[in-house]
C-alpha cells in the first residue's frame, strides 16, 4: 500500500452542505482513503484498484489516477451520480459511453485496507502475546498479557465452555479469532484518523463473511443428532408430513436465518454508531448553513458533547457486539455438537 498523500484537483461540487451525502461518504466504502479536505482540496491516501474486464483483461493501478472520480484512466472511471452504477467503477468504450457490463472489481478499497491493517495488528499482537506466554511460562503474567488474559479466559470459560460443553477446545481458535477480530475492528473504527477509522465491521460484506464462517463451522461440526433434528424434528407426525414438510422447512430456514441475524446485527450496530456520530457532527454544518456561523458555534458545543457520548457508547457497543457475536456463534456450535437431550 502506498501512503503518499495526493493533494488533488479542486473539487467541482457545490459548496452547499449536504448532510446526507456527508454521512453516507463517511460510512460507505471508497476506492481512496479520504483524510481531510482543505477548502476544495481533498487529501486522501490512494489505494490500489484491481480490475478484470473481459475486453481489457487485468488492470492494476492506484486510485489516485481517477483524481477523486473526475478522471478517466485506461478506459475506466468511477461512475458519477445519475448513472445506474453510481460510485462503482465502469468501463468506457471508445466513444466514451459506459458499458453495461461492469468490470470485476477486486480493488483494495478503504474497508479492505482497514481490514488488512487491523488483521496485521491482530496477528502481530497475538503472536507477540504467545511468545510472551512462552517466555514467562510458570510465572505470573504482566503488562499487556495480564490485560488480555482475562478476556481470553472469559471467552474460554464463559462463552465457549458454557455454550459448547466438553468439546469446546476444538472451536477455541475460531471463537477467539472472531471475538478479537470484531472487537479490534470495532474499536479501530472509532478512531477517526487513518489508518484507523475504516468502517470495517459496519460493512455488510465483512459481517457476511464472519457469519458465513460461523455457518460453515456449525454445519461441518454438526453431529447426527443436529441433522436429524433438522430433517426429522421431534414433533408430532402431522406437523412433519402433511401436504408439505412444514417443520423441516422451518428448521432449514432457521439454519440460514441464524447467520443472517448475526450478520445484520453486527453490521447494523456498528453502522448506526458511525452514522449517529457523523450526524451529530454534521449538525454543526447544517446549523452553520441555515442560521449562520454564530448558531453553529453554539450547536458545536452540544454536538461535540453528544458525539463524545455516542463514541463512548460505541466503545461499549463494540465490546457487546464482539461478545454477542462470539456467544451466539458458540451457542449455535453448541447446538450442533450437543448430544441427545
Partner 1 sequence: MGFVTPDYGTIFWMCVVFGITVWILKRFAWKPILNGLKAREQQIARALASAESAREEMKRLAAHNEAVLQEARAEKENILKEAITLKNKLLSDAKEQAAMESEHLLEMAKHKIEEEKNAAINDIRQQVAELSVEIAEKVLRRELSNPTAQQQLVDSIVKDMNIS
Least distance (Å) from partner 1 to the CB of residue 213? Answer: 7
Least distance (Å) from partner 1 to the CB of residue 336? Answer: 19
Least distance (Å) from partner 1 to the CB of residue 200? Answer: 9
CB 122 within 8 Å of CB 129: no
What is d(CA 208, CA 268) in angstroms, rounded to the nearest whole number?
A: 12
The whole-angstrom distance between residue 67's C-alpha and the CA centroid of its chain comes to 26
Cβ proximity to partner 1: between 57 and 173 the closer is 173
Cβ proximity to partner 1: between 206 and 284 the closer is 206
Cβ proximity to partner 1: between 267 and 287 the closer is 267
Cβ proximity to partner 1: between 151 and 230 the closer is 151
Least distance (Å) from partner 1 to the CB of residue 33? Answer: 15
Least distance (Å) from partner 1 to the CB of residue 126? Answer: 4
Cβ proximity to partner 1: between 213 and 227 the closer is 213
Handedness of CA 13, 43, 106, 207 (dihedral sign): negative
What is d(CA 51, CA 19) in angstroms, rounded to the nearest whole number?
A: 32
**Cβ within 8 Å of residue 90, ≥6 positions away:** 76, 77, 78, 79, 83, 98, 99, 102, 103
Cβ proximity to partner 1: between 93 and 157 the closer is 157
Least distance (Å) from partner 1 to the CB of residue 172? Answer: 6
Binding site for partner 1 (CB under 8 A): 24, 27-29, 87, 105-109, 111-112, 115-116, 119, 122-123, 126-127, 129-131, 133-134, 137-138, 149, 152-153, 156, 169, 172-174, 176-177, 181, 203-206, 208-210, 213, 271
Grid cell listed for 318? 463494540
Least distance (Å) from partner 1 to the CB of residue 192? Answer: 18
Pairing label, strands 6-7, 104-105: unpaired
Cβ proximity to partner 1: between 216 and 241 the closer is 216
Query: Beta-carbon neighbour count of residue 100 at 10 Å?
Result: 9
CB 44 within 8 Å of CB 6: yes
What is d(CA 308, CA 10) in angstroms, rounded to the nearest whole number?
A: 32
φ and ψ of 104, to 5 deg: -70, 125
Question: How far is the first Cα of the chain from the last one, in angstroms, to the nearest whole number?
Answer: 53
Amino acid at each position: 500500500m502506498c501512503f503518499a498523500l495526493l493533494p488533488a484537483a479542486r473539487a467541482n461540487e457545490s459548496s452547499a452542505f449536504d448532510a446526507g451525502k456527508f454521512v453516507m461518504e463517511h460510512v460507505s466504502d471508497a476506492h481512496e482513503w479520504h483524510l481531510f479536505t482543505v477548502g476544495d482540496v481533498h487529501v486522501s491516501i490512494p489505494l490500489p484498484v484491481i480490475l478484470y474486464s473481459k475486453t481489457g483483461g487485468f488492470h492494476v493501478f492506484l486510485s489516485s489516477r481517477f483524481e477523486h472520480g473526475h478522471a478517466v484512466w485506461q478506459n475506466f472511471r468511477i461512475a458519477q451520480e445519475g448513472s445506474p452504477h453510481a460510485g462503482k467503477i465502469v468501463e468506457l468504450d471508445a466513444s466514451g459511453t459506459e458499458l453495461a457490463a461492469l468490470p470485476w472489481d477486486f480493488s483494495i478499497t478503504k474497508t479492505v485496507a482497514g481490514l488488512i491493517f487491523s488483521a496485521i495488528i491482530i496477528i502481530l499482537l497475538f503472536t507477540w502475546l504467545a511468545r510472551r506466554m512462552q517466555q514467562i511460562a510458570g510465572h505470573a503474567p504482566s503488562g499487556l498479557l495480564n490485560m488480555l488474559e482475562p478476556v481470553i479466559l472469559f471467552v474460554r470459560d464463559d462463552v465457549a465452555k458454557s455454550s459448547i460443553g466438553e468439546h469446546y477446545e476444538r472451536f477455541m481458535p475460531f471463537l477467539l479469532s472472531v471475538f478479537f477480530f470484531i472487537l479490534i475492528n470495532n474499536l479501530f473504527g472509532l478512531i477517526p484518523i487513518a489508518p484507523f477509522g475504516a468502517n470495517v465491521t459496519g460493512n455488510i460484506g465483512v459481517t457476511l463473511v464472519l457469519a458465513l464462517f460461523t455457518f460453515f463451522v456449525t454445519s461441518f461440526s454438526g453431529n447426527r443428532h443436529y441433522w436429524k433434528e433438522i430433517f426429522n424434528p421431534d414433533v408430532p407426525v402431522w406437523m412433519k408430513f402433511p401436504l408439505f414438510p412444514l417443520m423441516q422447512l422451518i428448521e432449514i430456514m432457521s439454519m440460514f436465518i441464524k447467520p443472517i441475524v448475526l450478520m445484520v446485527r453486527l453490521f447494523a450496530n456498528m453502522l448506526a454508531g458511525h452514522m449517529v456520530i457523523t450526524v451529530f457532527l454534521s449538525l454543526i454544518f447544517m446549523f452553520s448553513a441555515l442560521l449562520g456561523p454564530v448558531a453553529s458555534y453554539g450547536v458545536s458545543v452540544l454536538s461535540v458533547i453528544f458525539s463524545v457520548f455516542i463514541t463512548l457508547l460505541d466503545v461499549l457497543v463494540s465490546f457487546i457486539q464482539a461478545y454477542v457475536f462470539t456467544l451466539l456463534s458458540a451457542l449455535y456450535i453448541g447446538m450442533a455438537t450437543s448430544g441427545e437431550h
